[in-house]
Amino acid sequence: MRHYFLKLFEYHNWATQKLIEVIEKEKITDEYILKLYSHLLNAQWIWLSRIRQKEVGFTTFYMHPIHELPSLFAQNQQDWLDYLQTLDETELNRIVSYINMEGKHFQDIVSDIITQVLNHGTHHRAQINSKLRELDFTPPGIDYIFYTRQPSTI
């Protein structure tokens, strides 16, 4: 399972990187896009912090300044890949207890949290691509199959 999650997370990072490249290249200032991109990164950070049982200094909808997005993305990417390298069956099945942003207590299995992060990212990348198209920008091709066709992933 570790290899499977690593491959999916590498795709997730590739696709998310493609978006920040378009945002920077086209100098996108649309608030909706920037809020979604911040939210996507915040959620990743928050979920990993919950797994590691650490505090987070912002909420899921905190909007980072645009100039911070690339470095926040890079840090998120590295932290998640480092964590995923340590996975074993015990860790994948570990129950994480946490309090969400509304103060409610939850318990989730690590493998379900990882799946949530990946699916959440797909959802918001699709929303961002849709908004880019609406604004007459060409969104990047970020389908999983496009990623698998990259020479570095074969």
Return the pLDDT at 152.
Answer: 74
Return the pLDDT at 112.
Answer: 98
* Amino acid at the residue 117: V
Tens of pLDDT, residues 101-113: 889 999 999 999 9
* Amino acid at the residue 59: T
Q: Which residue has the higher pLDDT, 134 or 62?
A: 134
CATH of domain 2-153: 1.20.120.450
Return the pLDDT at 153.
Answer: 60
Backbone dihedral angles phi then psi of residue 35, each to the nearest 5 degrees: -65, -45
The answer to whether residues 30 and 121 touch, using CB atoms and an 8 Å cutoff, is no
Question: Which of these, 36, 38, 26, 40, lies nearest to 135 by C-alpha position?
Answer: 26
Return the pLDDT at 143.
Answer: 95
| Verdict on whether the full-model pTM lies above 0.75 | yes
Secondary structure element (H or E) that encloses residue 147, with its range: helix 144-148
Percent of the chain with pLDDT over 70: 99
Residues sharing a CB contact under 8 Å with residue 80, sequence separation 6 or more, in sequence order: 9, 13, 44, 48, 117
User: Tokens 């100098």 sit at which residue?
Assistant: 27
Domains of the chain, residue spans: 2-153
Mean pLDDT for 53-63 is: 86
Tens of pLDDT, residues 72-87: 999 999 999 999 999 9
Mean pLDDT for 46-58 is: 91
The answer to whether residues 16 and 73 touch, using CB atoms and an 8 Å cutoff, is yes
Distance CA 107, CA 135 (A): 40
